[in-house]
Amino acid sequence: MTGRTSLDRALQELAVRVVHDLPVDAPTGAVPPVGAVLAVHTPAGESVAVAGDRTLEPAAPMTPDTVHDLASVTKVAATTVTVMRLVSEGLLSLDRSVTSLLPGFAGGYKDDVTVRDLLEHRSGMAEWWPLYISASGGQVPESAHDVVDRLALRYAPRSGHHYSDLGFVQLGRIVSVVTGLPLPEAVRTLVLDPLGVDLRYGPPAGAPVAASGPDDRVEQAMLDSGTPYPVPFSSADFAGWRTGTIQGQVHDGNTFHALGGVSGHAGLFGTVGDLLRLAVALAHAHDHGAIWSSAVVEEFMASPRPVPARSWNQALGFRHYWVRLDGRRIEVLGHTGFVGAAMAFVPGGDVAVALGTNRLLRGRPPVPVEELLHQILRVATDPDPDAAGPHPPGGLRPSSPAPDLSRGTP
C-alpha cells in the first residue's frame, strides 16, 4: 500500500470514528460531533476526509467545502499572523505598551502591559467578561471596547498564564490602530490574500455552513454557574439570547452580541481546506519573506513558556505541542477553537493538519478539541490504521491532561 493510499485510508477511518465513537477518557455524558472534516498535509501528500452531517434538523451532509466557525482559531489564523506581519514591517514592537496604542486602557498596572504580554496571555487581563451585559450600546463595538478598557486587571502583569479572550480583543483593536484599517480588511490584505487563503469574518453568501450550536446555552450556563470564571451577572441579566440553532453566525457570545461579529479572539469562518492551506504556509513561514521576516518567525515560534495543568505550552499567540516522528521529538504549533475546529503544523517541516467539527450541536458535553487534535496529529505522523485501537494514546504528547471547560479554554 502506498503512503498516500495508507494516509487516505487512515484519515477516513478516523473521520468515521470521530462522529461515532468516544475516547476512553471522554467527559461523563459526552457525545461525539455530528460531523467532521479532517485534512492533513504530509510528505506523502494531502488528504481530506469527511463524515457525518453539518446540521441536525433537517440533516445535511458534511462536505469538504463546508464552512466552519473557527472560534478561537481566529486568535492565530487572523490576529497573530497579522501582528507578525506588522512586527516584520517595523510598524509594531512586541514590547510597546498597550496604553500607547489604546489610551483608554490605562492606569495602575495596565500601563505596564505590552503587546508581547497579550500574545503570551500574561497581561493580567480577565479571561472572559460578558461584554453584551456590561456595554451600554448594545451591539455597538465601541461600547464593548470601552468596557474592556475600563475593566480592572484580574492579575498582576506577567504573574502567570491566564488564557484571555479579552487580551485578544485588544490585539485585534491594535491591528486596526496600527494599520488604519478595519480588522477584517487588515487581516485579508496583509496576510490571507497574499497566501491565497480564503478565511473571512462571517461565512460567504450561499456557502454551506456547519451549524455550531443549538442556541446560546453555553454562554448562559457560564453566567449562571460562575464556571470557570465568576462574574456578577446571571443569564437573566440579558434579554437577547439566541434560542434556535446557530448557523451562519459566530457562536461566541461576545463577538456576536457585543462586537458586531468581528474580534481578535473569534469571528473567523472558513473551510478546513483553507485552514490547512494557512497551516502549510506557517510551516514554511521562512519561504514567505514578503509577509513575515525570518527573525520574527523565529521569535513567534520559539521558546514557548510552560503552562501548568495544560496539554500545551504557550508561544507568542500559538500553542506549542510536540509529537514523535521517526523516533524523534518534533515541535508542533497550532490552536484549537471552542466550536470544534483546530489547526497545527510542524515549523520548518512538511506536516500540517486542520479539522472542523460541530461538536457542540447536540447540546451535551462535547469531546475535547484537544483530543480531536491529538487523533489527527497521530494519523499525520503515523498513518498506519492497524497500529492501535480506535482512540490510541500516541501522537500528541501533552505535558499534562487538560479539561475542556468552556469557551475560554477550548
- Please write the tens of the pLDDT for every residue from 64-121: 999 999 999 999 999 999 999 999 999 999 999 999 999 999 998 999 999 999 999 9
CA atoms within 13 A on the CB side of 138: 2
Instruction: Please provide residue 25's backbone torsions phi and psi, each rounded to the nearest 5 degrees.
Output: -105, 25
Instruction: Please provide residue 48's backbone torsions phi and psi, each rounded to the nearest 5 degrees.
Output: -130, 135
Residue 390 has pLDDT above 50, yes or no: no
C-alpha–C-alpha distance, residues 377 and 383, integer Å = 9
Determine how β-strand 319-325 pairs with β-strand 313-314: antiparallel
What is the arithmetic mean of pLDDT over 147-158?
97
CA atoms within 13 A on the CB side of 314: 21
Q: What is the pTM of this model?
A: 0.93
Over pLDDT 70: what percentage of the chain?
91
| DSSP state at residue 153 | P
Per-residue pLDDT at 382: 81
C-alpha–C-alpha distance, residues 225 and 273, integer Å = 37
Residue 354 has pLDDT above 80, yes or no: yes
Please give the grid coordinates belonging to residue 183.
480588522
- Tens of pLDDT, residue by residue over 289-304, are 999 999 999 999 986 7
Instruction: Please provide residue 140's backbone torsions phi and psi, each rounded to the nearest 5 degrees.
Output: -95, 110
Residue 10 has pLDDT above 80, yes or no: yes
- Give the lowest-confidence range in 92-106, 114-128, 269-283, 376-390: 376-390
Per-residue pLDDT at 4: 67
CA atoms within 13 A on the CB side of 360: 31
| DSSP state at residue 191 | I
Instruction: Please provide residue 51's backbone torsions phi and psi, each rounded to the nearest 5 degrees.
Output: -155, 150
Please give the grid coordinates belonging to residue 43.
510528505
Confidence of residue 403 (pLDDT cuts 50, 70, 90): very low
Per-residue pLDDT at 2: 57
Please give the grid coordinates belonging to residue 194.
497574499
**Which parts of 151-285 are beta strand (E)?**
200-201, 268-271
Per-residue pLDDT at 303: 66
Distances (CA, A) of 362 to 316, 332, 339, 393: 34, 31, 12, 26
- Tens of pLDDT, residue by residue over 55-65, are 998 999 999 99
Please give the grid coordinates belonging to residue 367.
469531546
End-to-end CA distance of the chain: 37
Q: Helices (H) and strands (E) in the chain — how many of each?
A: 14, 11
What is the arithmetic mean of pLDDT over 258-265?
97
Confidence of residue 389 (pLDDT cuts 50, 70, 90): very low
Confidence of residue 138 (pLDDT cuts 50, 70, 90): low
Report whether 302 contacts 285 (CB < 8 A): no
Residue 396 has pLDDT above 70, yes or no: no
Separation of CA 221 from chain center? 21
Per-residue pLDDT at 3: 58
Give the residue with greater pLDDT, 265 vs 321. 265
Which H/E stretch holds residue 47?
Answer: strand 45-55
Confidence of residue 400 (pLDDT cuts 50, 70, 90): very low
What is the arithmetic mean of pLDDT over 313-323?
91
C-alpha–C-alpha distance, residues 305 and 311, integer Å = 12
- Give the lowest-confidence range in 209-213, 230-234, 309-313, 377-381: 309-313
Which H/E stretch holds residue 194?
Answer: helix 193-195
Over pLDDT 90: what percentage of the chain?
81
C-alpha–C-alpha distance, residues 369 and 355, integer Å = 10
Residues 6+ apart with CB under 8 A from 107: none
Instruction: Please provide residue 91's backbone torsions phi and psi, each rounded to the nearest 5 degrees.
Output: -90, -15
C-alpha–C-alpha distance, residues 314 and 27, integer Å = 25
Determine how β-strand 268-271 pairs with β-strand 67-69: antiparallel
What is the arithmetic mean of pLDDT over 224-233?
96
Residue 409 has pLDDT above 60, yes or no: no
Mean pLDDT, the chain, as a whole number?
Answer: 91
